[in-house]
Amino acid sequence: MKPAPFEYSRARSVEEACALLAADDGARLIAGGQTLVPLMAMRLARPTRLVDIARIPELAYVRDVHVDDPQLHGREEASGEGKAAAVAIGATTKQAVVEHDALVRAKVPLLAKAMPLVGHDATRARGTIGGSLANGDSAAEIVLTAVTLGATLTWRVDGRTEQAEASQFFLGPMVTALPPAACLLEARFPVWSEPRVGTGFHEVNERHGDFAFAAAAAQIAVDGDGRCTRAALGIGAATAVPLRLDGVAKALQGTRCEESLVRRLVAEALAEVETMADLHASAEYRRRAAITLAVRAVSDAHRTARRA
């Protein structure tokens, strides 16, 4: 037995989970446990109580959220009659379920592209979307995708429901805006209504499925001439939290995303950004890798959008 001792409770509802968390400062939620359990095995995490939310049925789902949904506060994506504005994914939805979900593939193609890179088959079988988001690792593909697309995260705390946009949610390395006694409920990924959308996702790591040293995600919409009408670009793993490069995305509009242009824009955007260093990769390596991966991600996204 490697972890320190703890008590175990299985919550039957979100309210019960919140009450158990509020009653014990050292309590933590567990669902898939694919990140928390290794941290406990190394005793980097020593919860006094684990509150298991994996079997709360209403937390596992993937569904369309339509324009007329009162919970949707007039997001800009909410245009077009009867079109889904977002895909909502319940916090304890297994990563393997999201990976193979037809709705995700059709409407949030960047997330579908990122999922096979999340750990391995055996960890995606247990790991959840919400677990990865709540853990807030900059190297996590789901975290990078949420920041790049501007997903909205919703949680329950003290009987209230609160939410934040992903770029406001991730505050530092494995630090999020989630209050200690909160239970994450869902993540909503915006759906792009443009007919021609393409995606790209690239990362470097030691072994497929391991933590990335640098990663980049891009989603691009093009018009009939192959000119970019809308872009989203983010880099992860290289920095303490994933960064959405909105300036680059804006500058790409109206262009054909030529490689030299993308490289110059991304290099400029990252010039003043502090990248991380550790035994595996220096800060300078991570910066160079992030720039090159961003160029590749945009190139893939632009090419697949033109073919869409």
Partner 1 sequence: MNVELKKVELKVNGATHVVEVEPRTSLLDCLRDRLLLTGAHAGCEHGVCGACTVLLDGVAVRSCLMFAVQADGYAITTIEGLSPGPGELSPVQDAFCEAHGMQCGYCTPAMILTAHALLARNPSPTRAQIIEAISGNICRCTGYAQIVEAIALAADRMRGQNLPPDRS
The site for partner 1 (CB under 8 A) is made up of: 1-8, 30, 33-34, 37-38, 40-42, 48, 50, 52, 54, 96, 116, 119-123, 125-126, 207-209
Q: Which amino acid is at 86?
A: A
The total of other beta-carbon atoms located within 10 Å of residue 73's CB is: 9
Residue 54: which of 95, 24, 88, 19 has the closest Cα? 95
Of 47 and 190, the one with the shorter C-beta distance to partner 1 is: 47
Residue 84: which of 60, 62, 111, 63 has the closest Cα? 63
Of 105 and 126, the one with the shorter C-beta distance to partner 1 is: 126
Of 61 and 211, the one with the shorter C-beta distance to partner 1 is: 211
CB of 5 to partner 1, least distance (A): 4
CB of 2 to partner 1, least distance (A): 6
Of 59 and 222, the one with the shorter C-beta distance to partner 1 is: 59
- Pair 85, 77: CB distance under 8 Å: yes
CB of 83 to partner 1, least distance (A): 33
Write the CB contacts of 52 (distance below 8 Å, at least 6 apart in sequence).
8, 9, 10, 11, 29, 30, 31
C-alpha distances (whole Å) from 29 to each of 167, 181, 184, 234, 262 are 23, 9, 10, 29, 41
Q: Which two tokens stand for residue 155?
A: 């949680």
Of 126 and 288, the one with the shorter C-beta distance to partner 1 is: 126
Write the CB contacts of 177 (distance below 8 Å, at least 6 apart in sequence).
164, 168, 169, 170, 171
CB of 147 to partner 1, least distance (A): 25
CB of 115 to partner 1, least distance (A): 13
Of 33 and 109, the one with the shorter C-beta distance to partner 1 is: 33
CB of 49 to partner 1, least distance (A): 9
